[in-house]
């Protein structure tokens, strides 16, 4: 189906009144009320993971030995997710499938994708098999004057029902099939010499892991309001920090920077494959965009090929 | 969906001082576990710590004061309540070591999970061909489970050693692997080792020299743990998570990373 930009805008303006509607506004995915706030032409610096896996989240509150758990689940739309971001949610869904906090939010969340037609600076999704992802409820592909739209799931059909009469037949299916045919490179090799060269530059700021759509590491902390009352929270944490692996007695398992960089790279390209059958890196390039030291995870794979559709 | 972070309040039935700064708590809870597993012990407001289960089939933990949580835990005694979740981790491979002579080597608090296996052994003596315990402590006052040693000696050999002797100590002095060097390895033996990683390495090396295959050595590893669920991300050794795939590993599978 095809939907004109003005029709899509009208739909968003009305839908965003009723549900939590997150969309890219430039640097991040934020809750929007109007289509005008949305920026569909850039890649966000921050990923959308924080909507389902917040930087700080209450696990439960407690008073003396009594605990109370509240999980949040609100009807939510995440709109304008690029294929890498869809692929990242596919990974997060598998990773957090037994996590009640994540899944409660996720159950009521609809993912609306936005197909890329070319890569942004630093993207290498062609190497991670995420230039196209079918992990969406609905997908938009921009065309002259509007969007080709594929409304795939029941949840998305319900969401887009008010806009149905605004949709027209047609739309560039061919573009999508051309994109799908771009197969990813297989058998990527990790070049350890390149990782070695990162160690002298990196200063463990953790910007890379915080912008990454598939970094899931956290710490658990107790926060007290009064002596006997408080809450237990989980907060984002990073393998790039020394204290991440410190044990009682002071020993640190990944004390050297090289060990920590190795952890990040292998976590993304290798360990994830062994545990989940796929890489967790989706090639979004955000860790490269954000690194002050121009550390480029993609160079580790080192076989640049142009990608055009 | 069960909330794996939910903490259950459990009463302490009994508390025993084992050594300066080391205490054993008997908990008033029936838990379905096997030797080698651990629990996450909570004191709300202080945090959580991974602690091995040190008994079988009753639920006991033995811990050393090492920081925030364990210091606060040290204030708790009979009748007090603590928070608990678990059990976590893979137990010792009981089927694999059945029928064998089990050689148990431990250092410091590493004897805690080994004691759980010993208690299992005492209940299932017929399914093993024997057991020998080797335990190394920093000094004589740090020898744990002192009042059980006599009972244990009726069923299996107990070899003790200390790093630093005092005037009353008449036993062995030196590290555990030194004790092992003089030990005649029975045929069909398997080892279970828990202690600091330097001790694990030297014990494995000694046993290797004596001809024990590395796949017959089970070692328990310690890492910083926050969740016990393979999620917080800090306990991994390459693609293995110590909280999920361990803490007990075959030495042959993990030695290159220790
Ligand atoms: C599988 C497993 C079984 C264990 N069994 C026992 C046992 O039977 N008896 C015993 O006395 N100890 C055991 N430990 C070690 C025990 O978990 C730590 O000594 C304890 O968590 C220290 O925490 P704390 O809160 O008292 O100190 P904190 O003040 O929290 O921590 C002191 C330092 O230790 C680090 N740390 C936090 N959590 C852990 C952790 N889980 N393991 C190691 N370091 C940590 C902190 O980052 C900090 O640097 C076990 C650890 C593991 C992983
Ligand atoms: S953003 Fe760059 S400097 Fe910062 S931790 Fe990551 S790789 Fe290192
Ligand atoms: S590792 Fe870098 S490129 Fe890969 S998904 Fe994370 S932020 Fe994107
Ligand atoms: S281990 Fe490091 S790279 Fe892997 S998910 Fe955690 S923070 Fe990200
Ligand atoms: S303790 Fe959290 S991943 Fe192992």
Mean pLDDT over B74-97 rounds to 96
CB A20 within 8 A of CB A31: yes
Do residues B204 and B214 touch, judged by C-beta distance below 8 A? yes
A238 C-beta closer than 6 A to ligand 4: yes
> What is the domain partition of chain B in residue ranges?
8-88, 94-220
Residues 6+ apart with CB under 8 A from A169: A1, A2
Q: How far apart are CA B204 and CA B193, in angstroms?
A: 8
Measured CA to CA in angstroms, residue B6 lies from A59, A221, A229, B82, B83 at distances of 8, 14, 16, 13, 9
The minimum CA-CA distance between B241 and chain A, rounded to whole Å, is 10
ipTM metric: 0.93
Q: Residue B118: CA atoms inside 13 Å, Cβ hemisphere, count?
A: 28
The C-alpha atoms of residue A21 and residue A13 are separated, in whole angstroms, by 10
Which pLDDT score is estimated for A38?
Answer: 98
pLDDT per position as a tens digit, B3-15: 999 999 999 999 9
Q: pLDDT > 70: what percent of chain B?
A: 100
Taking an 8 Å cut-off on Cβ atoms, the answer to whether B233 and A237 are in contact is yes
Which residues on adjacent β-strands are paired with residue A141? Answer: A148
DSSP character at residue B53:
B
Cβ–ligand 3 contact at A268 (below 6 Å) = yes
Whether residue A129 has pLDDT greater than 90: no
What six digits make up the tokens of A45? 């610096």
Q: Which of the following CATH numbers is that of domain B94-220: 3.40.50.80, 3.40.640.10, 3.40.50.12780, 3.90.245.10? A: 3.40.50.80
Which atom of ligand 5 is nearest the CA belonging to B224? 1
Q: Please name which of A286, A262, A274, A277 lies closest in space to residue A214, comparing C-alpha atoms.
A: A286
What is the CA(A209)–ligand 2 centre distance, in A?
8
Burial per residue of A235-266, b for 16 or more beta-carbon CB atoms within 10 angstroms, e otherwise = ebbbbbbeebbbbeeeeebbeebeebbbbbbb
Domain range B8-88, its CATH number among 3.40.50.1010, 2.40.30.10, 2.30.29.30, 2.40.50.180 = 2.40.30.10
Report how far Cα B106 is from the mean position of its chain's Cα atoms.
Answer: 8
Q: What tokens appear for B239 in the block? A: 């693609």
CA–CA dist B49, B57 (Å, integer): 21
CB contact under 8 A, B224 and A266: no
pLDDT digits (tens, 9 = 90+) for A30-87: 999 999 999 999 999 999 999 999 999 999 999 988 999 988 889 999 999 999 999 9
A186: pLDDT strictly greater than 70 = no
The pLDDT tens digits of the residues spanning B129-149 come to 999 999 999 999 999 999 999
Is the pLDDT confidence value at B114 over 80? Answer: yes
Residue in B with minimal Cα distance to A263: B238
d(CA B167, CA A49): 62
Alpha carbon of B47: minimum distance to chain A alpha carbons (Å): 6
pTM: 0.93
């Amino acid at each position: 189906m095809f939907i004109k930009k003005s029709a899509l805008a009208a739909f968003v303006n009305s839908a965003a009144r009723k549900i939590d509607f997150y969309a890219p506004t430039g640097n991040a995915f934020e809750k929007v009320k109007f289509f005008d706030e949305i920026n569909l032409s850039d890649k966000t610096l921050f990923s959308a993971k924080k909507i389902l896996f917040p930087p700080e989240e209450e696990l439960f509150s407690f008073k003396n030995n009594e605990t109370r758990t509240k999980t949040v689940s609100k009807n939510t739309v995440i709109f304008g997710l690029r294929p890498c971001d869809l692929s990242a949610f596919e990974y997060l869904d598998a990773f957090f499938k037994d996590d009640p906090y994540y899944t409660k939010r996720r159950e009521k969340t609809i993912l609306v994708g936005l197909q890329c037609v070319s890569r942004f600076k630093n993207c290498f999704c062609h190497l991670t098999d995420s230039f196209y992802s079918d992990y969406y409820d609905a997908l938009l592909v921009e065309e002259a004057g509007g969007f080709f739209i594929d409304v795939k799931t029941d949840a998305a059909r319900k969401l887009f029902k008010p806009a149905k009469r605004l949709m027209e037949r047609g739309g560039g299916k061919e573009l999508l099939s051309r994109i799908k045919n771009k197969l990813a490179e297989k058998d990527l090799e990790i070049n350890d010499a390149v990782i070695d060269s990162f160690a002298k530059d990196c200063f463990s700021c953790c910007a890379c892991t915080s912008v990454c759509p598939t970094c899931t590491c956290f710490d658990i902390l107790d926060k007290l309001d009064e002596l006997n009352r408080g809450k237990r929270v989980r907060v984002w944490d990073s393998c790039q920090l020394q204290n991440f692996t410190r044990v009682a007695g002071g020993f640190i398992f990944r004390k050297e920077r090289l060990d920590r960089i190795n952890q990040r790279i292998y976590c993304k390209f290798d360990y994830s494959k062994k545990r989940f059958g796929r890489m967790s890196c989706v090639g979004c390039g955000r860790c490269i965009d954000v690194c002050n030291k121009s550390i480029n995870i993609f160079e580790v794979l080192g076989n640049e090929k142009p990608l055009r559709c | 969906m069960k909330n794996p972070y939910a903490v259950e309040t459990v009463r302490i039935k009994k508390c025993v001082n084992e050594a300066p700064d080391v205490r054993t708590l008997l908990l008033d809870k029936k838990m379905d576990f096997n030797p080698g597993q651990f629990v996450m012990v909570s004191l709300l407001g202080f945090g959580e710590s991974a602690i091995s289960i040190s008994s079988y089939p009753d639920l006991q933990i033995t811990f050393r004061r090492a920081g925030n949580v364990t210091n606060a835990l040290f204030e708790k005694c009979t009748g007090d309540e603590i928070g608990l979740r678990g059990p976590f981790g893979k137990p010792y491979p009981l089927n694999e070591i059945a029928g064998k002579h089990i050689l148990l080597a431990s250092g410091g608090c590493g004897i805690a999970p080994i004691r759980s296996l010993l208690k299992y052994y005492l209940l299932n003596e017929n399914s093993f061909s024997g057991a020998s315990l080797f335990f190394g402590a920093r000094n004589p006052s740090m020898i744990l489970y002192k009042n059980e040693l006599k009972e244990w000696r009726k069923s299996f050999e107990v070899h003790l050693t200390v790093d630093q002797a005092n005037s009353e100590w008449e036993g062995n002095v030196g590290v555990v692997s030194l004790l092992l060097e003089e030990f005649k390895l029975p045929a069909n033996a398997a080892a279970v080792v828990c202690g600091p990683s330097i001790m694990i390495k030297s014990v494995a090396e000694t046993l290797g020299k004596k001809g024990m295959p590395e796949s017959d050595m089970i070692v328990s590893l310690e890492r910083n743990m926050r969740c016990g669920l393979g999620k917080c991300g800090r306990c991994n050794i390459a693609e293995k998570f110590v909280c999920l795939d361990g803490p007990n590993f075959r030495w042959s599978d993990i030695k290159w990373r220790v």
